[in-house]
Amino acid sequence: MIQSLGIDNLGVITHTEVEVGPGLTVVTGETGAGKTMFVTALGLLIGGRADSHAVRAGAKRAVVEGVFDITGMDSVRERVADAGGEADDELIVSRQIVPGGRGRATAGGRTVPMGVLAEVGQELVSMHGQTEQLRLKSTARQRELLDGFGGRELAGLLADYRAAYARWRDLRAEDERLRETSVERAGRINFLESALEAIDAVRPAPGEDAELKALAAKLAAAESLKQSVGTAHASLVGDDFAETENVSDLLGRVAADLERAAADDEALGEPAAQATDLSIRAADLGAELSAYLQGFDDLEGASLQETEERRAQLGSLAAYGPDVEAVLEFEERAGRELLDLRGGDERLGLMQERLSAAEEALRNAADSLHEARVKAAGEFSVSVSEELRALSMPKAKVGFAVEPCEPAAHGADQINLWFTAHEAQAPGEIGRLASGGELSRVMLAIEVVTARRVHFPTFVFDEVDAGVGGAAAIEIGRRLARLSVGRQVIVVTHLAQVAAWADNHITVRKEDGEDGAVSGITRLDGAEREAELARMLGGMSESQAAQAHVVELISQAEEGKAAF
């Protein structure tokens, strides 16, 4: 519930602070005085769109601040805390609007995104005006209205349906994906099978391509290699046919001579050791060259042609990797992928079972939701139609047409709110058949009925009595007063028959000053209130007839409220 409202430089209002109590509060004033600014200010506090043109001419900014009683509203307190603000049983919210610039919003003493005010505002204030009447013409709003009227039972069924719909939608999307890729999957399977068959036919060994490359080079140069290495070997260690001394023998004699000399002169010990080492190393090198030459004997069965043919076989696998190691890695990956792809058909079969089960669950949830909506629609029609009879629309009826349709996120029902003003008029779309005054009364009747099931701390109605007068206006006042029992209702009205039912009366008065029109907000009691009601009746607050009528209206309202 809103406790107080402060406004600075908003429209024609320069500065005002007003306390708003529980029960029914009416806001009155002459046309153009700025009554709508009061509603605009409330709308800004709950995240409404800010119009920079609403800032008073010449002012740097407009500021609106509201103090709300949020006792017992834990969700509001937690949301404000999440945004960094602080609130106990009282929440202070403010908005700043700057011409041509960015505004600022605070909640609980902390600057917050505008979305926070909108989230909190949904639980604090329910706004109803011409915009809400326009929303009532949309099928989405009509569906929300019926589901809200259905209460917790219908809300639970709707949650069950949405869960079933989400599962069915996800499974259907996966099924479509599997089917769309079945052709691609078959092609990929054929490719992988052919690739694995080709690799298996060649069956490369790790490192084989490098080994064959080296072997081919050795075989191609075999004669030249044997001649060169053989000559080097003979020079080092000699051969059976060599008559000249070889390097190994010469180094052996050098080492022997130096060792004998070292026996007489220790200074030759190191040179003798070096000569011995050279002799040994020459012999070792000769042995290595001998082994290399013997290796050619082991290659007598190797053919350069066969080696090149094998290399060509390995080269045929180049599409699967630049070398044998890459080809073998591809083979491993391809095997795993092939197993996964071959399981696709099996998954597709299982998917059909899962999808069928999801479709059945969705149908069951949709049927249960449909039955609950039809039941709620009947109760809604009876309750609202009764309220309309009390609002001087005895023949009017309102109800919901709930027809099955294709499943969607909100259900498998096409929901339309219909209206008929009298028996001679066939029921039709409410937006097409209801006049402005009728639509206002329908909105009020709906709110009165809905309030019996859903508690909301504050309702705001902007000229809900437009196009209404006489006895219907009195009944609108009665309904608004009844709606305000246990909650707060704020109404902008131009009818004395409605204002007479108020627990709190606020008037907006405009005066022409040097800096332009200036409006102020004042609470009225006693004689001042009676004078305002008289003005609203006939424009002449001092008229004795008007004053007598006011006394009658107030007395009638007091008696009516006592009967609640």
Q: For the whole prediction, is pTM greater than 0.95?
A: no
What lies within 8 Å, CB to CB, of 554 at 6+ separation is 500, 530, 533
Tell me how far apart the alpha carbons of residues 527 and 519 are, in angstroms, rounded to a whole number: 21
pLDDT score of 381: 93
Virtual torsion, Cα 2, 4, 5, 8, nearest 10 deg: -160
For the chain, the first-to-last Cα distance in angstroms comes to 21
Q: Report angle CA 210, 211, 213 to the nearest 5 degrees.
A: 65
What lies within 8 Å, CB to CB, of 399 at 6+ separation is 377, 378, 380, 381, 384, 385, 417, 418, 427
Instruction: Tell me how many helices (H) and strands (E) the chain has.
Output: 19, 15
How far is C-alpha 152 from the chain's CA centre?
25
- Nearest alpha carbon to residue 333 among 478, 545, 191, 144: 191
* Residue pair 519/46 in contact by the 8 Å Cβ criterion: no
Beta-bridge partners for 397: 420
**Tokens representing residue 217 in the block:** 């080079």
Q: Report angle CA 449, 559, 532 to the nearest 5 degrees.
A: 90
Tell me how far apart the alpha carbons of residues 557 and 561 are, in angstroms, rounded to a whole number: 6
* Residue pair 56/34 in contact by the 8 Å Cβ criterion: no
**Tokens representing residue 553 in the block:** 């209206």
* Residue pair 125/2 in contact by the 8 Å Cβ criterion: yes
Length of the chain: 564
475-480 long-range contacts (CB < 8 A, ≥24 apart) are 475/390, 475/391, 475/392, 476/391, 476/441, 476/444, 477/501, 477/557, 478/390, 478/557, 478/560, 479/387, 479/390, 479/391, 479/444, 479/445, 479/448, 480/24, 480/444
pLDDT score of 489: 93
pLDDT score of 289: 85
pLDDT score of 301: 59
Burial class (CB in 10 A: 0-12, 13-18, 19+), 254: middle
Tell me how far apart the alpha carbons of residues 301 and 296 are, in angstroms, rounded to a whole number: 10
What lies within 8 Å, CB to CB, of 258 at 6+ separation is 268, 271, 272, 275
**Tokens representing residue 369 in the block:** 């939701």
Q: What is the pLDDT along the chain (564 residues), one digit of tens a residue?
A: 999 999 998 888 888 888 898 999 999 988 766 677 888 899 899 988 887 778 888 888 999 999 999 998 999 999 999 999 988 899 999 999 988 767 889 999 999 988 899 999 888 988 876 566 666 778 888 898 899 889 889 999 999 999 999 999 998 887 777 666 666 777 778 888 889 999 989 898 888 888 788 777 777 777 787 788 777 887 887 775 656 678 887 888 888 888 888 888 888 889 889 988 888 898 888 888 888 877 776 666 566 777 778 888 888 888 888 888 998 999 999 888 787 777 666 666 677 888 899 999 999 999 999 999 999 999 999 999 988 888 878 888 999 999 999 999 999 999 999 989 888 788 888 878 877 777 777 888 887 888 777 778 898 888 777 767 777 788 889 889 988 988 899 999 989 999 999 999 999 887 765 555 567 788 899 889 998 898 888 766 566 777 888 889 989 999 988 888
CATH code for residues 1-126+463-564:
3.40.50.300
pLDDT score of 410: 94
| 49: DSSP letter | P
Burial class (CB in 10 A: 0-12, 13-18, 19+), 74: exposed
Tell me how far apart the alpha carbons of residues 212 and 220 are, in angstroms, rounded to a whole number: 12
Q: Where are the domains of the chain?
A: 1-126+463-564, 205-316
pLDDT score of 346: 63
Three-state DSSP at 106 gives: strand
pLDDT score of 517: 59
C-alpha separations of 163 from 352, 388, 486 in Å: 19, 37, 36
**Tokens representing residue 460 in the block:** 């705001």
Tell me how far apart the alpha carbons of residues 185 and 341 are, in angstroms, rounded to a whole number: 7
Virtual torsion, Cα 461, 462, 464, 465, nearest 10 deg: 130
- What angle do helix axes 139-149 and 436-451 make, rounded to 10 degrees? 30
